[in-house]
Amino acid sequence: MVDATTTGNDVLSEASGRFVDGYLAYLLAQASSRISREFHREVEASGLSVTEWRVLASLSGSDGESIGTLAQLALTKQPTLSKVVQRMEADGLVERTGARRDRRQTLVRLTRKGRGLADSLCAHALRHQQAVLEPFGHDNAALLIGMLKDLIALHPPAAPLADGG
């Protein structure tokens, strides 16, 4: 098992080699990219783009999100997301309903078909996650996830959305 407490000497004051090899933002981006790449094959095998999968995942366990919220969750700009959602609506994966509370908003919800696909992919994703975290052991895995959540909580999104995003 990987023992995070004994990884290298002082990983912070990185004195040698490429700059990026000790740079947090790079490590996060690289880890994100590599961890996701494997699963994204499954996603594309389902006929979805990565962005479309992110939308499905973001809507899983929710009974509707606005375009703006989805853009933040899916890490894209709002115009991008408007167009992705339109494609997904044409494919019968989501439906767009004018929200009751605020008629400016477009509320996006999973259709039955979309929920089926989302559930299937999410289950797959969780199995993949388990495999990824297995070498770390339960405690270190929880530590990692906790710290990522802390990082996220400490850095609010660009346009402060109602709550804390």
Partner DNA sequence: TCTTTTTCCATGAATTTTCATGTTTTCCAT
Partner DNA sequence: ATGGAAAACATGAAAATTCATGGAAAAAGA
Cα within 13 Å of Cα(6), Cβ side: 3
Q: By CB under 7 A, name the one of 21, 27, 79, 126 that touches DNA.
A: 79
Residue 39 neighbours by CB distance under 10 Å: 18
Question: How far apart (Å, rounded) are the C-alpha atoms in residues 45 and 54?
Answer: 15
Q: Is 101 in the site for its own copies (CB under 8 A)?
A: no
Q: By CB under 7 A, name the one of 83, 113, 127, 149 that touches DNA.
A: 83
For the record, the structure tokens of 119 come out as 């559930």
Residues 6 or more apart whose Cβ sits within 8 Å of residue 23: none
Q: By CB under 7 A, name the one of 43, 106, 117, 125 that touches DNA.
A: 106
Q: By CB under 8 A, name the one of 100, 101, 103, 138 that touches its own copies.
A: 138
Q: Which residue in this structure is represented by tokens 């490590």?
A: 27
Q: By CB under 7 A, name the one of 30, 46, 80, 120 that touches DNA.
A: 80
Please give the torsion angle defined by the CA atoms of residues 32, 48, 107 and 82, in that order, rounded to the nearest 10 degrees.
80
80 binds, among its own copies, DNA, none (CB under 5 to 8 A by kind): DNA
Distances (CA, A) of 3 to 7, 70, 135, 141: 7, 36, 9, 11
Q: Is 22 in the site for its own copies (CB under 8 A)?
A: yes
Q: Is 84 in the site for its own copies (CB under 8 A)?
A: no
Residues that bind DNA (CB under 7 A): 49-51, 66-68, 76-80, 82-86, 96, 102-106, 159, 161-162
Residues that bind its own copies (CB under 8 A): 2, 4-5, 7-8, 10-12, 17-20, 22-39, 54, 57-58, 60-62, 73, 75, 118, 122, 125-126, 129, 132-133, 135-136, 138, 140-152, 154-158
